[in-house]
Copies of this chain bind each other. A is one copy, B any other.
């Protein structure tokens, strides 16, 4: 077992000084061709690679970025993560991934842990609990310390930083509009129980679309489900006690579950009832019938977030003063039509 070799060891072996070795390995022309070759050959032989930690300490940058997502099993976050990872990779950055599990406390702890030098910046989506509590002191503190932060999807207006979102309101509006144009009259909304920024915006789009087309808002047609687990009793009661001809769901899991229940109740999709869901993931594609779905372009979102963050990190290095400016990028969601609606 040969431990990693250091400059010091090379220097000792070759009977030169550490700085000579360092320079030779960087092809500095201060060093003679002879010594340079000798040192490089030796270094190669022993697979010398500079120690990242020492470099980080010296340069005050780690080339690590911290990503905190509420839930990794949720397809949307996974795709965003993928986008982040891919872009970061091309720029030579590593991604440290933390899952907040929708918990405020885990979010805070993870952030504090990473903020102590382990990373150069954060990309995150707020946990449900954080949004409910409306407590963002940990984010503000981080920013205060000069650490770049990019929020995506689950954002808040209370924190001033770079952000990436999709046009939830418009996307939802368009989806409902489409349903109405297809002749649907009783359009239900299945959304999350807890207060999530995005769900709220999607609900607003739904309200507005109904209103603009002179359809009455019927509170009975709105079902609020717990975000994580559900035993389907609420959903079944919902379908049993209401008649509707279309459903908009704020995510694809809700949509696919709802379709199953509707089918179990003998309804034909899309003849009797149409479905549209957010999150155009694998479930939408492979559902039976395939689900018409609003693509949130998670991968693109992650890529943009990573790009914004890395730009800010690398800018910080150069100029020092210069007034900070923050951007909010809005990605346009697109409707992917499949079998659960008629076109």
State the A residues within 8 Å of B (CB): 1-4, 47, 49-54, 56-57, 62, 64, 72-73, 75, 78-79, 81-82, 85-86, 89, 92, 94-99, 106, 110, 112-118, 141, 144-146, 253, 256-257, 259-260, 263, 282-283, 286-288
Q: Are A62 and B72 in contact (CB under 8 A)?
A: no
Which of B62, B79, B116, B146 contacts A50 (CB under 8 A)? B116
Q: Are A97 and B116 in contact (CB under 8 A)?
A: no
Which of B1, B56, B95 contacts A146 (CB under 8 A)? B1
**Complex Cα spacing A282 to B116, Å:** 37
Q: Are B52 and A253 in contact (CB under 8 A)?
A: no
Which of B50, B57, B144, B263 contacts A53 (CB under 8 A)? B57
Rounded to whole Å, the gap between the CB of A321 and the closest CB of chain B is: 11
Q: Are B282 and A263 in contact (CB under 8 A)?
A: no
Rounded to whole Å, the gap between the CB of A77 and the closest CB of chain B is: 10
**Complex Cα spacing A72 to B145, Å:** 32
Q: Are A260 and B288 in contact (CB under 8 A)?
A: yes
Q: Are B94 and A95 in contact (CB under 8 A)?
A: no
Residues of chain B within 8 A (CB-CB) of A3 are: 145-146
Which of B1, B47, B97, B283 contacts A97 (CB under 8 A)? B97
Q: Are B82 and A73 in contact (CB under 8 A)?
A: yes
Q: How many copies does the complex hold?
A: 2
Q: Are B116 and A64 in contact (CB under 8 A)?
A: no
Which of B54, B98, B144 contacts A117 (CB under 8 A)? B54
Residues of chain B within 8 A (CB-CB) of A106 are: 89
Q: Are A117 and B81 in contact (CB under 8 A)?
A: no
**Complex Cα spacing A112 to B260, Å:** 47
A-B pairs, 9 with minimum CB distance: A288-B288, A51-B117, A52-B117, A53-B117, A97-B97, A49-B116, A256-B286, A52-B118, A52-B116
**Complex Cα spacing A52 to B119, Å:** 10
**Complex Cα spacing A164 to B50, Å:** 32
Rounded to whole Å, the gap between the CB of A191 and the closest CB of chain B is: 18
Residues of chain B within 8 A (CB-CB) of A288 are: 259-260, 263, 287-288
Q: Are B56 and A53 in contact (CB under 8 A)?
A: yes
Residues of chain B within 8 A (CB-CB) of A145 are: 1-4
CB-CB nearest in chain B for A61 = B53
Residue of A57, A97, A145 with most chain B CB atoms under a 10 A cut-off: A97
Rounded to whole Å, the gap between the CB of A278 and the closest CB of chain B is: 16
**Complex Cα spacing A73 to B75, Å:** 7
Please name 10 pairs of A and B residues whose Cβ atoms are closer than 8 Å in the assembled complex, sorted by A: A49-B116, A50-B116, A72-B81, A73-B82, A85-B97, A94-B98, A95-B97, A260-B288, A263-B288, A283-B283
